[in-house]
Amino acid sequence: MLKNDEYLNLINEKLNEYLPKKAEYENNLIKAMRYTLNLPGKRLRPILALEFCRALGGKIEECLPFACAIEMIHNYSLIHDDLPCMDDDDLRRGKPTNHKVFGEAIALLAGDGLLNLAFEVMVSKETVALVGEKRAILASRVLSNACGKDGMILGQVIDLESENKSISMGLLKKMHINKTAKLISAACEIGGIIAGANEEQLLKTKEYGLDLGLAFQIMDDILDADQNEKNININKNLSDKENGKSTYVTMLGLEESKELVNDLTNNAIESIVFLKDEGEKLKKIAKKLSNRVI
Amino acid sequence: MLKNDEYLNLINEKLNEYLPKKAEYENNLIKAMRYTLNLPGKRLRPILALEFCRALGGKIEECLPFACAIEMIHNYSLIHDDLPCMDDDDLRRGKPTNHKVFGEAIALLAGDGLLNLAFEVMVSKETVALVGEKRAILASRVLSNACGKDGMILGQVIDLESENKSISMGLLKKMHINKTAKLISAACEIGGIIAGANEEQLLKTKEYGLDLGLAFQIMDDILDADQNEKNININKNLSDKENGKSTYVTMLGLEESKELVNDLTNNAIESIVFLKDEGEKLKKIAKKLSNRVI
C-alpha cells in the first residue's frame, strides 16, 4: 500500500510527462493546460483509481495513464466551469483561475486540450503496450460514458438550469450523481478494470464510488452552508438559501444532511467489505471525506 | 461507389441515432448538440473517411461510426470557435450560431459534449463489435492525435495569437496544417485503417488529406479576399489585409495563391494514383474543392 504522498508524486510526475517542457514546443496552450493540472489538489480521483487497482491485485503502473486521464478530465471540467459564461470564478484552489491568467480563449482551448489529451493518453501506443487493447478500450468506454451527455456534462446542465430556483430532491440527486459521482465511480471502476476484476467486484467498486461521490457533494453543500453563514454574518455574500438555490442543506436541514453523509459513507464502506484488509485505505478515504472541514 | 446524397443520408441518419429524440431524455444540451450537427453542411470529412474506406476495399458501414465521430469533432470545434471569447460569430452556415440560440454556457457544454461523444462512439460496445478492438484503438488514436494540443487545438492557438499581426509563411502554414489539414488527413487515414489498408497505402492516404486540407484553407483565404474586396467596395468590413492579418493572399498575392492551390490539388491526386479507378470520386472531390466559389 502506498502512502498519499507517494501516490501524489507518481501522479504529478506522470501528468507532467504528458506535457513536457521543451523549448521548441512550449506555448500558451501547454502552459495553460499545465497550470491548472499543477494547482495543489488532493488528487482524489486518480488515487482512488490506483488504490482500487492495487487492492484488487493489479499493477499501479498499469493504471497510472488512466489515473492521469481521469485527472485531466476533472481539470478540464474545472477550467470550463470557472469561465465567465459559467460560474465566473476568479479563484480555484486559492489561485487565479485559468482564464484570469491566460485569458478566456486560451482557457477554453486548454480545457478542450485536456479533455482531448485524456483520450490520447488512454489509446496511445505506450498505454496499449502496457495494458493491451481490451483493457484500454474498456477503461476508455467507462470514462467517456461517465463524462458526456449522460454523465458529467448532463450534471453541469442541470446545475446551470436550476440556478436561482428550487428543484425537487430527485433532480438535485440526479445533478450530483451526474456532475460528481459518476466520474468518481468511473475512477474506482477503471482501477478494477485494469486489475482485471470480475463483474461482481466491478459492481461493488462502482457502488463505492457512487456513494462516496454523492456523500462528497452533500458535504460540499454542508460546508458551503457553514461558509455562507459566516459570510452573511460579515455581510459579504448570499447563501445558497438566499439566492434560492436548492441544496441538501436547504431541503433536509443540516442535521439530516450530515446523517445522510454518514449513511452514504457507511454504504460505501460496506460495498468494499469483500476487499478485506486490502480495503483499509479505501475505508480511510471514505471516512476522511465525510469528516473533512474544508 | 455511393453518390454524395447517399453518403449524406447515411451520415445524417447515423448522427441522429447517436442523439435520439426521446421525451424523457430531451434537454437543452442534446438540442444544442443536435442543432449544430444538423446545420446544412458538405460533410466533407466523413465523406472522405467513408470513400477512402470503400476505395480501399473496406465496408462503409464499419467506417460509419468513425465518420460520425469525425463530424462531431468538427462541429464541436465550430461551436467553440464561434463563441464570443473566440471569433464571436453570429452566423454559421447561414443560421444563428449555437450560443446565439442556446446561450454561451450551453454552447460551451454542447461543444464539450460533442468532443466527448466522438470518443464514446469510437469505443462503444456497438462499434467495437463491428470493427474489433485493434481498429477501434488505431482510429481513436489517429483522431485524438489530430485534434489535440499537437493538432487542431494548436492550430487554433496559433490563429488566436497571430490576430492583428503579420506572421511568417512558415507559421501560417503550420497554422493551417494543424487547424484544418490534420483533421481532414485523419479522416482519410481512418477510412484506410477501417479498410485494413497497409502502411504504404495509409501514408499515401494521409498525404492526400494533408495536401487537400492545405489547399482547402488557401482557397478559403482566396474566397475571403474576394469577399472582403466586395465588402470594402460597399464599405462594410475590413479585409484581412486591412486588419493586418497574414493570409496566403496577403503574402503571395492572388495569382500565386491560386497556383499553390492547383499544385496542392495535383499532389493530392498524385498521391492516390495507386487507387486506380477506385480513386475517381476522391479525385473529383479534390478538383471540386479547388474550383469552389463559396
* CA dihedral sign, ordered B152, B158, B164, B170: negative
Q: What is the pLDDT of residue A240?
A: 47
> What is the tens place of the pLDDT at every residue in A103-149?
999 999 999 999 999 999 999 999 999 999 999 999 999 999 999 99
CA atoms of A271 and A156, how far apart (whole Å): 27
Please tell me the total count of domains within chain A: 1
Among A27, A98, A138, A149, pick the best mutation site for testing chain B contact (most B Cβ within 10 A): A149
Taking the Cβ of residue B90 and every Cβ of chain A, the question of whether any pair is shorter than 8 Å is answered with: no
The CATH number given to whatever domain includes residue B37 is 1.10.600.10
Residue B126: half-sphere exposure toward Cβ, Cα within 13 Å? 11
Q: Give the pLDDT of residue A293.
A: 60
Distance CA A50, CA A65 (A): 10
Whether residue A203 lies within 8 A of chain B, CB to CB, comes out as no
The pLDDT value recorded for residue B2 is: 86
Measuring CA to CA, which residue among B286, B259, B258 is closest to residue B272? B286
Give the residue, B166 or A13, on which the prediction is more confident: A13
- Mean pLDDT computed over A13-36: 91
Q: Minimal Cα distance from B80: which residue of A?
A: A108
Q: Which letter does DSSP use for residue A124 in this model?
A: S
How many residues does this entry show for chain A?
294
CA–CA separation, B11 and A236 (whole Å): 53
pLDDT over 70 percentage in chain A: 94
Judged against a pLDDT cut of 50, whether residue A152 lies above it is answered with yes
Kindly identify which residue of chain A lies nearest to residue B103, measuring between CA atoms: A85
User: What SS3 state is found at B96?
Assistant: strand
Scan residues 11-40 of B and list those with Cβ closer than 8 Å to A: 19, 27-30, 33
User: Cell triple for residue A143?
Assistant: 470514462
Mean of per-residue pLDDT scores for chain A: 93
Q: Which residue of B has its CA nearest to A144?
A: B120
Q: Does B243 touch chain A (CB under 8 A)?
A: no
Cross-strand pairs, B96: B91
Do the beta carbons of residue B131 and residue B162 sit within 8 Å? no
Tens of pLDDT, residue by residue over A210-225, are 999 999 999 999 998 8
Type and span of the H or E element at B124: none
C-alpha span between A206 and A204 (Å, rounded): 5
State the smallest CA–CA distance between residue A115 and chain B in angstroms: 8
For A186-204, how does the pLDDT look when each residue is reduced to its tens digit (9 = 90+)?
Answer: 999 999 999 999 999 999 9
| Cβ A120 vs Cβ B144: under 8 Å | yes
pLDDT in tens, B227-267: 777 665 544 444 444 456 889 999 999 999 999 999 999 99
Residue A27 has pLDDT above 80, yes or no: yes
Its domain, for residue B9, covers 4-291
C-alpha–C-alpha distance, residues A23 and A113, integer Å? 19
Residues A64, A68, A69, A73, Cα dihedral to 10°: 150
- A101 SS3 class: helix
**Contacts of the segment A252-260: beta carbons below 8 A, 24+ positions apart:** A254/A222, A254/A225, A257/A218, A257/A221, A257/A222, A258/A222, A260/A215, A260/A218
Average pLDDT over residues A22-47: 92
By C-alpha distance, which of A212, A241, A216 is closest to A226?
A241
| Residue B83 and residue B36 in contact, taking contact as beta carbons nearer than 8 Å | no
Q: Which three cell numbers stand for residue B97?
A: 450560431
pLDDT at site A271: 98
- pLDDT of residue A261 exceeding 90, the answer is yes
Query: What pLDDT, on a 0 to 100 scale, did the predictor assign at position A237?
Result: 47
Record: contact B154-A29, CB cut-off 8 A: yes
Q: Kindly report, residue by residue over A85-97, the tens digit of the pLDDT.
A: 999 999 998 999 9
Q: Measured between alpha carbons, how far is A214 from A261 in angstroms, rounded to an integer? A: 8
Q: Any idea which of A168-177, A230-239, A247-256, B144-153 has the lowest mean pLDDT?
A: A230-239
The complex's ipTM works out to 0.95
294 residues of chain B, pLDDT tens digit each: 789 999 999 999 999 999 988 877 789 999 999 999 999 999 999 999 999 999 999 999 999 999 999 999 999 999 999 999 999 999 998 999 999 999 999 999 999 999 999 999 999 999 999 999 999 999 999 999 999 999 999 999 999 999 888 899 999 999 999 999 999 999 999 999 999 999 999 999 999 999 999 999 999 999 988 777 766 554 444 444 445 688 999 999 999 999 999 999 999 999 999 999 999 999 999 999 988 765
Quick one: pLDDT at residue B293? 60
Closest residue, chain A, to B77 (C-alpha): A112
Residue A239: is its pLDDT beyond 70?
A: no
DSSP conformational letter for A95 = E
Distance from C-alpha of B149 to C-alpha of A110, rounded to nearest angstrom: 8
